[in-house]
Amino acid sequence: MSKYDIIVLGSGPGGYVTAIRASQLGFKTAIVEKENLGGVCLNWGCIPTKALLKSAQVFEYLKHAEDYGLSVKEYDKDFNAVVKRSRGVADGMSKGIQFLMKKNKIDVIEGYGTLKPGKKIDVDGTEYSADHIIIATGARSRELPNLPQDGKKVIGYRQAMTLPEQPKKMIVVGSGAIGVEFAYFYNSMGTEVTIVEYLPNIVPVEDEDVSKQLERSFKKIGINVMTSAEVTTIDTSGDGVKATVKTGKGEEVLEADIILSAVGIKTNIENIGLEDVGIAVDRDKVLVNDYYQTNVPGYYAIGDITPGQALAHVASAEGILCVEKIAGMHVEPIDYGNIPGCTYASPEIASVGLTEKKAKEQGYDIKVGKFPFSASGKASAAGNKDGFVKVIFDAKYGEWLGCHMIGAGVTDMIAEAVLGRKLETTGHEVLKAIHPHPTMSEAVMEAVAAAYDEVIHI
């Protein structure tokens, strides 16, 4: 039986990052993967979707070339080539993880791993043991009872990335990050898209102002948005699919070629041996302490299968903290109130901290500042004036409670707010930190100025 210091089960952005950090700290490390190194994020999520969205963005630029004083007489899309490019990007990233495994002398064990008592993992009949086993098995597309996925007419995100042909009409059920990103992509490619969202606002975890702005932007480009709406039944017996949608006004039947179910994720905790080992689970999540130790010594869990936010960067941070704690380093628990969230539709969304509504609910006396990109010189020059930066401060102490952005490139801007909040920056400190002009990022400073009644450009 092969013996390791640490075995990681699952090689997504939680698992492979954990394995690399463990190796850096001197642990003899192995990683178990049943499919492709990089997990869902690199192969079927974060990375290939961004490749699709980039193709959509370039296509949008071609459509609007005249807005920039350019003449493009002939252009078209090749849907299969767009998909092929996305798969190529994913394959390249997965090969990059293979290189990192070799570079860091991490053993890659291919196959389906099952946890066993006594700090062991069975991989397709072969047992391996370790002093520490870290579970990072991630999640998959969640299925609703009234919306079963057949992989053809009712699909999840995996099929949405590799459809053999572009649908003429698509219904997207759910308007979280996955739903709105695919809605934007397919709309840009020329598909007629309808979003059906059960809650009153799309991207419902975001600040209400951001949700309303995205809905306006989507409607402007021809995406049909239905909120406070529920798909009650579907009929796949014909050539396409019919969905009965219940709203406050009654019921209506929508017809489409395909329904994309984007109603969240389901953790991969079945059939991996949790019960055999006696690891505690509650409501689809593995229970852990601040250092990702389960109730059974020697077994740990990180990423989507634990109660924190199901985001790639969260899984990576959890894995690093977990192995550093094992190594005896001084570590501080992750502040889950300072995790940035990003959505890569167009316009992009990025946020961190409390929404205005939550800040009020928690009893804060707040200062709110908002700066529209329509007043930004850089945004005007780029032709991307949709959106704004919104900041929320505690009026008493100047604490930066939240930052919410919607617009071009804002996912690359949110780190300023994350770092500022980590360093307990006040509104006046942000205001007096000189931001370069003309940039999109100066909108952060302008929004803070608006909160303190010092704004210049609006």
Active site residues: 437
Q: Which amino acid, residue 193?
A: V
Q: What share of the chain is helix, strand, coil (3-state, %, to 5)?
A: 35, 25, 40
Q: Is 122 exposed, middle or buried (0-12, 13-18, 19+ CB in 10 A)?
A: middle
Under a CB-based contact definition with an 8 Å cutoff, are residues 34 and 124 in contact?
Answer: no
**Residue 407 and residue 405: Cα distance in Å, rounded?**
7
Radius of gyration, CA atoms only, the chain: 23
The crossing angle, in degrees rounded to 10, of helices 208-220 and 177-189 is 20
Annotated binding-site residue numbers for FAD = 50, 113, 304
Residue keyed to tokens 């975001």: 206
Annotated binding-site residue numbers for NAD(+) = 174-181, 197, 264
CA distances from 321 to 97, 300, 328 (A): 20, 11, 11
CA nearest 355: which of 204, 222, 166, 197? 204
CA nearest 36: which of 81, 80, 87, 1? 87
- What residue spans of 104-195 are helical by DSSP H? 157-161, 177-189
- For residue 326, the tally of other CB atoms under 10 A from its CB is 22
CA nearest 42: which of 161, 199, 149, 190? 161
CA nearest 175: which of 264, 266, 59, 64? 264
Annotated binding-site residue numbers = 50, 113, 174-181, 197, 264, 304
In order, the DSSP letters of 331-350 are -----GGG--EEE-SSSEEE
What are phi and psi for residue 30, nearest 5 degrees? -130, 155
Tokens found for residue 452? 């303190």
- For residue 89, the tally of other CB atoms under 10 A from its CB is 17
Cis peptide before 164, with omega less than 30 degrees from 0? no
Secondary structure letter of residue 203 according to DSSP: S
